[in-house]
Amino acid sequence: MTAKQIMVIDNEEGLCRMMAAVLMDDGHAVRTFTDPLEAIEVFRPGVWDLVISDIKMPGIDGLEVLQRIKAKEADIPVIMITAFATVDMSIQALRKGAYDMLTKPFEPDELLFRVRNALKHNQLLSENEQLRQELAGKFNFDKIIGTSTILQQLLEKVKKVAVRDTSALITGESGTGKELIAQAIHYNSPRKDKPFIAINCGAIPDSVMESELFGHKKGAFTGADTDKEGLLKAADGGTLFLDEIGNLPLNVQKTLLRFLQEQEFRRIGDTTPTRVDVRLISATNSELEKEVEQGTFREDLFYRLNVINLHLPPLRQRQPDILLLASYFIREQNRKFSTNISSLSSEAQQAATNYDWPGNIRQLRNVIEACITIETEDQISLTTLAQFIDIEEMSAGGDDYNNALARFEIDYLRQLLSAAGGNIEEAAATAGMNMATIYRKMKKYGLRKEDLLGDRGK
């Protein structure tokens, strides 16, 4: 159990010591105060998990303490202690936000019982708030970034699919955001309050795939020491997302087909069928039709999965979205690492827009993160960006632009190496580049160190 931070306030030092000893023995971190004003001054939102306060104290009473602490953090649970409990006092305390009342004298077990209940209640509130924020924000369609016509048309289709409880197959290249679409479908469907379980079929060995999906009975095979609940059972009532579905072995495909037909399956080693209510969403970056023709994927399963097809376009077909996504990732990295990069420079923007992005959105995110790691200016420069993408291969840049870029890079390499006296390690350090990048650029342009140094290299 993670230690909880508990504040104890009581003008009786002996009672403070007793409560601290009991709570610390239970694994909590405790700080005691005999002066309620000091406790209020020390209290900071987000630091404490629970406050325990006496009601009758000199200076200010516990009800005033309760009110001031609740003004700082409304959701903090507070347990009030009193030797003179009355109905009126209890009503006042509860109206001011107290979680519970504890009457002196009390046994250590009673204290622990009340404290554990209060902490459990607080944890549930926190989890519910986190879930609410996820549902309201992370999986909102507005959070899928892009204004391109092709993406907006897809999202309109996704919104309609979300409310219809049918199987869907999401296709698209690696890195296009297929799981994000699956999450959006689930969290905007009638199943949103039930589990969303995701599994990458390409990351699990064939030998354990059936057990992972359907579970097994104890003793079903060597190493099956206990009963295991499969992912289908874990997703009961909700959605199971099978990414890279084309990697499913044929024996598992057969069992999955039976489940889709009958909504039931048998765990390995079990003779009794298990019935669940699960919506299946699958995804692939391969052409399943070709795998069907080759006999590596069942045709009947393909049609069961592909009731609705949602095709995610590659980033190169969403050119208007590239800079929007780049700006989003820059802000994301700034928040995460407390950096202050404003944007891509105008030259870097042109290069990013014209680049093909074979790794799609995932590659763009990684490149932005890498650029921010080494960038020394307030914008990501073309020089920095060129260390992570082959900008000479841009499909829409045009010969004039590519030739100008090549001249710029050659001149820049010449200046770097000249200033470093031909020392590539020193030149790399000056430019904030790695040595491999400089060697790669030299090879790309067919340059030797002597060429770049001119007369100094002879």
Largest CA distance in the chain: 98
Residues 6+ apart with CB under 8 A from 244: 200, 201, 202, 203, 283, 284, 285, 286
Average pLDDT over residues 24-51: 91
| pLDDT one-digit tens code per residue, 384-395 | 998 898 876 544
Which is higher by pLDDT, 416 or 293? 293
Which is higher by pLDDT, 331 or 428? 331
Burial class (CB in 10 A: 0-12, 13-18, 19+), 89: middle
Residue 182: pLDDT band with limits 50, 70, 90 = very high
Domain with CATH 1.10.8.60 in the chain: 315-391
Cα–Cα nearest to 15, from 82, 76, 98: 82
pLDDT at 274 over 50: yes
Which of 3.40.50.1980, 3.40.50.300, 3.40.50.10440, 3.40.50.2300 is the CATH number of 141-313? 3.40.50.300
Domain with CATH 3.40.50.2300 in the chain: 5-133
- pLDDT of the residue at 209: 87
pLDDT at 249 over 70: yes
Whether 157 and 181 have beta carbons less than 8 Å apart is answered as no
Residue 5 bridge partners (DSSP): 29
Cα–Cα nearest to 330, from 320, 343, 348, 346: 343
Which of 3.40.50.300, 3.40.50.10490, 1.10.8.60, 1.20.970.10 is the CATH number of 315-391? 1.10.8.60
- pLDDT of the residue at 302: 95
- pLDDT of the residue at 135: 47
Average pLDDT over residues 332-341: 89
pLDDT at 259 over 80: yes
What rounded mean pLDDT belongs to the chain? 85
| pLDDT one-digit tens code per residue, 70-121 | 988 888 999 999 887 676 777 788 888 888 888 888 889 999 999 998 888 7
d(CA 141, CA 135): 11
- pLDDT of the residue at 396: 43
pLDDT at 207 over 90: no
User: Does the global pTM surpass 0.75?
Assistant: no
Domain with CATH 3.40.50.300 in the chain: 141-313
pLDDT at 203 over 50: yes
> Is 5-133 in CATH node 3.40.50.150?
no
The dotted CATH code for 398-458 is 1.10.10.60
- pLDDT of the residue at 451: 62
- pLDDT of the residue at 40: 93
Which is higher by pLDDT, 434 or 150? 150
d(CA 246, CA 209): 13
Encoded tokens for 153: 């048309």
CA of 178: how far to CAs of 6, 289, 343, in Å? 44, 19, 27
d(CA 304, CA 442): 53
CA of 137: how far to CAs of 183, 187, 441, in Å? 12, 10, 43
Tell me the three-class secondary structure of the chain, residue by residue.
CCCCEEEEECCCHHHHHHHHHHHHHCCCEEEEECCHHHHHHHCCCCCCCEEEEECCCCCCCHHHHHHHHHHHCCCCCEEEEECCCCHHHHHHHHHCCCCEEEECCCCHHHHHHHHHHHHHHHHHHHHHHHHHHHHHHHCCHHHCCCCCHHHHHHHHHHHHHHCCCCCEEEECCCCCCHHHHHHHHHHCCCCCCCCEEEEEHHHCCHHHHHHHHHEECCCCCCCCCCCEECHHHHCCCCEEEEECHHHCCHHHHHHHHHHHHHCEECCECCCCCEECCCEEEEEECCCHHHHHHHCCCCHHHHHHHCCEEEECCCHHHCHHHHHHHHHHHHHHHHHHHCCCCCEECHHHHHHHHHCCCCCHHHHHHHHHHHHHHHCCCCEECHHHHCCCCCHHHCCCCCHHHHHHHHHHHHHHHHHHHHHCCCCHHHHHHHHCCCHHHHHHHHHHCCCCHHHHHHHHHC
Q: CB count, 10 Å around CB of 57? A: 19
- pLDDT of the residue at 392: 61
Beta pairing class for 343-344 and 196-200: unpaired
Domain with CATH 1.10.10.60 in the chain: 398-458
Whether 317 and 176 have beta carbons less than 8 Å apart is answered as no
| pLDDT one-digit tens code per residue, 367-412 | 999 999 999 888 999 989 988 988 765 444 455 656 667 777 777 7
